Chain A
Amino acid sequence: MVNQIRAAIVFVVLMTLLTGILYPLAITGIAQALLPYQANGSLIIQNGKIIGSSLIGQAFTSDKYFYGRPSATTATDPNDATKTISAPYNAANSGGSNLGPTSQTLVDGIKGAAEKLHRDNSGPIPVDLVTASGSGLDPDITPAAAQFQIHRVAKARNLTDQQVVTLVSRYTESRALGIFGEPVVNVLKLNMALDNLNKQ
């Protein structure tokens, strides 16, 4: 029995060193040497300032920008630490709405979001524009959701619809290897390109 316990202790220590320290540090070392951009979070840096990450969505509320998907992330209420408040695209606390399919809160939320979007475009709204993503940080929208917003964005920026259409199609990424996943438009990259277009 004493022998067993001694063996177990040594074994736990050795395995912890191997899989908990050596393994992750080796991976970190290799990653930092070979793939520093990805290993450090695919950050977008402009003029020395971090704008965000190309993988992490941001909140866009201005008419000049394409909106991303609704986000159900929350933050601690600054006035009462036991409560949480809505804080869309709070990357420090990822998560979905976790509302059930028959929840009244869900249905009301969808209704509100749809009414807001219908002010810009009376057409059918692509479902991803009114539903919250699982992570609350979805960086993408569907090509349909981008098309839905083209006219509004063009008007707000004094651009022609065609200019924005061109930009959207340039930033539409097709399925990986032509097979996997869905076609997407990365909202942050698209909006940065819009800002650059106006500067020119």
Chain B
Amino acid sequence: MNTHDLSQFIVFAALVSVLAVPLGHYLMRVFTGQPIWLERVFGPLERLIYRLADVKVEEEHYWLNYAAALLIFNALGAGLLFLLLSYQNYLPWNPQQLPGLAPDLAFNVTVSFITNTNWQSYSGETTLSYFSQMVGLTVQNFLSAATGLAVAIALIRALTRREQHTLGNFYVDMTRTTLYVLLPIAFVVALVLIQQGVPENMHAYVTATTLEHATQTIPEGPVASQIAIKQIGTNGGGFFNANSAHPYENPTPLSNLIEMICIVLLPAALVISFGKMVGDRRQGRALMVSMTVLFLGSFLFCYLAEAHGNPAFTAFGVDQTISKQNPGGNMEGKEVRFGILNSTLWATLTTATSNGSVNAMHDSFTPLGGLVPLFNILLGEVIYGGVGCGLYGILIYVMITVFIAGLMVGRTPEYLGKKIEAREIKLAVLAMMLYPTCILGLGVASLLIPEALKSISNAGPHGLTQVIYTYASAAGNNGSAFAGFNANTFYQNIVIGIVILIGRFGIILPVLAIAGSLVTKKITPISNGTFPTHGPMFIILLTSIIILFGGLTYFPALALGPIAEQFSFSQPPTQP
């Protein structure tokens, strides 16, 4: 890695660390109901919302009520979004007079956005009106992120409360997340992005006459307001088809830096809040170290693969070496202003979290470069993870880890003083089994159904990688794609939509059930026999278990996909 790339990475990492610590502290205050400065601004609005919706703040929910409120709320949001998309031609702010979406596509977009997946079967600029973008998608960008956070907070409460029964009030958690966390950050980020060149208007598309006298239609719209929450909420669905590679979504290296920070900021901060809320910062730190080890490894791997370039190009006199005048490397599907470092750093971040936005096309990455985002998704997006879902995802891994550690020493496993018993482990394993079942089961089904096979755009191992990536991205609620795969067919829209739903609620429900069971337990004091969950031993164990689960479950599929493709990748170029 040259000094420029290294310094970019170091500054980025430093900025994230500097911002995540105070934000983690702030999040803790928001969720424990401590006074915060913003209440002076939004306090009256918060109380108004509770009054209108008849929410009693002090009335807390049992896990089943919490889950029911979450499901009803999401179902209503889904119904509204489906109708908006289907009938957008009758609604205002549609200067391009785009028609309503076909039912299968509307279903796919709806489940994709309510679940924080933001998979794009559609192409924004040719499909969606401004009304659908704002009132449909932007809203769910906020609410799906808030839902994820609410579940994570409920689980943290379950770990910290002794012998109680309730997990908090779902509507209070949603409201406070939206008003005090997501909206203020999105507001600031949107304005900064506009300053960098992201448009924000309600005009019709502009027709330009180019220097060579051709006509160019340039799309417009309320872009910045959606892009801000798209990154902060780890949503990732683009206003435009090219997503964050589009110069209007991500015009400059600075907008790119801000968006990368936004992708990882809340997930990282939440780990810090977790440590504070359980009253032992070392617990948060242990998770953070495991995540960071995995992150650094996968980023370096991806960077080196892409910087190496595509040996097939060299034969035609194409220069891919890194110099001051040219960043070099495999530039197919990448933007010049980002180069290799920002493209691979983004690819790692967007799949380590469940963001799924892309500033370079993963489908055109080298075989091993493309393996990294895929592998991150397959691990369950727990390296920082999505807003909320990353934390509850890694806590599931933690329970499995303490269980395995408990088996090895022959003691009842405990985490933070709570006994992890058969019920919790059964639920955790159920949640963990869902991903491979969806990805390998339905993904392989896709290979047997002629109708489904039509979606694959590349022959050979790369085609298999496209299928695995698609289903992994759907089950993991990531939303990025090997975008050559044509997902906008009736079969794929429906099946991918179903996988997305399973991947979201199939995890949330067991997590809330675990929370419901943990909250009733007493907290046993630490003794000599307690397996510490903050030391290096635990960190190594947790990291290995994450890699082992991902590696062993998916290795055969990966061997036939990206790894096989690497072998057919031509010989490395001779250095000039």
A98 contacts the other chain (CB 8 A): yes
Given A27-B190, A124-B319, the answer on whether A98 and B333 have CB atoms closer than 8 Å is yes
**How many residues in B have their beta carbons less than 8 Å from beta carbons of A?**
126
Residue-wise interface mask of B (465-508) relative to A, using a CB-CB cutoff of 8 A (1 in contact, 0 not): 10000000000000000111000000000000000000000000
- B189 CB to closest chain A CB (Å) equals 10
Task: Flag if A49 contacts B209 (CB, 8 Å).
Answer: yes
How far is it, in angstroms, between the C-alpha of A90 and the C-alpha of B210 when the chains are bound?
Answer: 12
Task: Flag if B208 contacts A43 (CB, 8 Å).
Answer: yes
Which chain A residues lie closer than 8 Å to B366 at the CB level? 101
Interface size classification for chain A:
35 or more
The residue that B4 contacts in the complex, of A20, A51, A103, A175, with Cβ under 8 A, is: A175
Task: Flag if B212 contacts A91 (CB, 8 Å).
Answer: no
Nearest residue (CB) in A for B96 is A92
B200 contacts the other chain (CB 8 A): yes
Residue-wise interface mask of B (142-160) relative to A, using a CB-CB cutoff of 8 A (1 in contact, 0 not): 1100000000000000000
How far is it, in angstroms, between the C-alpha of A179 and the C-alpha of B198 when the chains are bound?
Answer: 21
Which chain A residues lie closer than 8 Å to B72 at the CB level? 4-5, 8
The residue that A59 contacts in the complex, of B52, B214, B241, B313, with Cβ under 8 A, is: B214
Nearest residue (CB) in B for A76 is B126
Task: Flag if A38 contacts B211 (CB, 8 Å).
Answer: no
Contact residues of A: prevailing secondary structure: mixed
Nearest residue (CB) in B for A3 is B54
B528 contacts the other chain (CB 8 A): no
Given A30-B191, A38-B194, A40-B199, the answer on whether A23 and B245 have CB atoms closer than 8 Å is no
Some 23 contacts from A to B, beta carbons below 8 A apart, are A5-B76, A10-B52, A15-B174, A20-B136, A24-B134, A27-B200, A28-B222, A38-B195, A43-B218, A56-B216, A59-B210, A93-B126, A93-B241, A98-B483, A100-B565, A101-B462, A101-B569, A102-B565, A114-B316, A128-B331, A131-B332, A132-B333, A137-B246
Q: A142-B336, A181-B337, A195-B211 are in contact. List 19 more A-B contacts (CB 8 A).
A: A7-B171, A12-B80, A39-B194, A41-B201, A55-B197, A61-B212, A94-B241, A98-B484, A99-B332, A101-B565, A106-B364, A110-B318, A124-B317, A124-B576, A125-B319, A130-B316, A138-B337, A181-B339, A182-B336
Using a CB–CB cutoff of 8 Å, the interface residues on chain A facing chain B are 3-12, 14-16, 18-21, 23-24, 26-28, 30-32, 35, 38-43, 49-53, 55-62, 65, 69, 89-103, 106-107, 110-111, 114-115, 118, 124-128, 130-145, 147, 175-177, 179-184, 188, 191-192, 195
